[in-house]
């Protein structure tokens, strides 16, 4: 981000397991950049076959064009960008990218409008949940990363498990690694002292060491699990004790997430976590829960 504000550029990919805090990191980062005067442009990929092709860029182009003067915006809409900004029947411009020449022109025009805007103010482009991006969206991201204008930061976030990156995402990551200045940030689980800080923030209580150790063991340091378990404990107990941290049932929010992830596995894989135990708590065994999730 500092490079973009100094007239350079930055290209960063943030990766980690679900619930580790990727989106939160991006939100905090863009909040700071917005306070410094940057234009913040978000695109979020969605899970599901019904999501339109190029969906994250359909979101992003709207924000970009809104920052242009009216005459320039109309000029851009009359070009290839109109395919993204004015979709018909949920599909950008009807048949998307009917030939490679059309695709290249669209990609070039997108990079050009980013450069036009970045020349006026620092611009931050954020694409979240890349594990669900379609092939065309990843191709545009690759193109933009290679042609990134000055005063621009390009940030992407993706899960490195659940689901496992597919071939198109793997190909994009390999291409991204060759972009000069590319950085890869992997977020890992919280350490015990970080778990203590998160519990403190969520509950306004000073957790004793036994509570911290137990919550850390049950959650494997996953921030989402830590937060939800802490909230459940303070709601049910008032004051969190070590015994309560050990015996508390799984928060409904955590149970729903784990069940959703298991639903995507085949029958044998779904049976594996319960094959050797009758324990229904998916967070009691950190190794098992992390692998299943």
DSSP string, 226-256: HHHHHHHHHHHHSS--HHHHHHPPPPHHHHH
Answer yes or no: are the C-beta atoms of 12 and 154 closer than 8 Å.
yes
Q: What is the pLDDT of residues 124-183, one digit of tens each?
A: 999 999 999 999 999 999 999 999 999 999 999 999 876 677 889 999 999 999 998 899
169 contacts: CB under 8 Å, gap ≥ 6: 130, 131, 133, 138, 158
CA distances from 276 to 18, 124, 268, 272, 273 (A): 25, 49, 13, 8, 7
Q: Which residue has the higher pLDDT, 146 or 252?
A: 146
Token digits of residue 234: 């303070």
State the pLDDT at residue 88.
55
On the question of pLDDT at 71 being above 80, the answer is yes
Query: Of all residues in the chain, what percent carry a pLDDT higher than 70?
Result: 79
Entry pTM: 0.80
Buried (b) or exposed (e) across 80-96, using 16+ Cβ within 10 A? bbbbbbebeeeebbeeb
Q: Which residue has the higher pLDDT, 264 or 29?
A: 29
- pLDDT-derived band at 286, boundaries 50, 70, 90: very low
State the pLDDT at residue 259.
73
Answer yes or no: are the C-beta atoms of 184 and 13 closer than 8 Å.
yes
State the pLDDT at residue 238.
66
Q: Which of 26-35, 46-55, 56-65, 111-120 has the lowest mean pLDDT?
A: 46-55
């Amino acid at each position: 981000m500092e490079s973009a504000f100094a007239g350079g550029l930055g290209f960063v990919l943030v990766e980690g397991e679900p619930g580790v805090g990727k989106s939160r990191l991006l939100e905090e980062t863009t909040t700071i950049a917005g306070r410094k005067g940057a234009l913040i442009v978000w695109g979020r990929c969605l899970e599901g076959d019904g999501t339109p092709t190029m969906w994250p860029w359909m979101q992003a182009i709207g924000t970009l064009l809104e920052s242009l003067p009216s005459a320039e915006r109309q000029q851009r809409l009359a070009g290839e960008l109109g395919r993204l900004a004015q979709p018909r029947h949920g599909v950008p411009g009807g048949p998307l990218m009917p030939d490679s020449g059309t695709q290249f022109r669209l990609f070039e025009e997108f990079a050009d409008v980013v450069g036009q805007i970045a020349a006026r103010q620092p611009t931050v482009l954020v694409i979240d949940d890349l594990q669900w991006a379609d092939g065309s969206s990843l191709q545009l991201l690759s193109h933009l990363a290679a042609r990134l204008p000055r005063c621009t930061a390009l940030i992407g976030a993706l899960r490195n498990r659940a689901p496992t990156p597919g071939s198109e995402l793997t190909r994009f990551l390999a291409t991204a690694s060759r972009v000069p200045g590319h950085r890869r940030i992997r977020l890992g689980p919280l350490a015990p002292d970080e778990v203590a800080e998160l519990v403190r923030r969520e509950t306004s209580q000073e957790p004793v060491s036994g509570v911290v150790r137990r919550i850390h063991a049950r959650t494997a340091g996953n921030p989402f699990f830590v937060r939800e378990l802490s909230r459940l404990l303070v709601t049910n107990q008032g004051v969190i004790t070590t015994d309560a941290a050990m015996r508390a049932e799984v928060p409904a929010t955590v149970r729903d997430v784990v069940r959703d992830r298991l639903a995507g596995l085949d029958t044998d894989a779904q049976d594996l976590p319960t094959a050797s135990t009758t324990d229904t708590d998916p967070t009691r065994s950190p190794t098992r829960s992390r692998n299943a999730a």
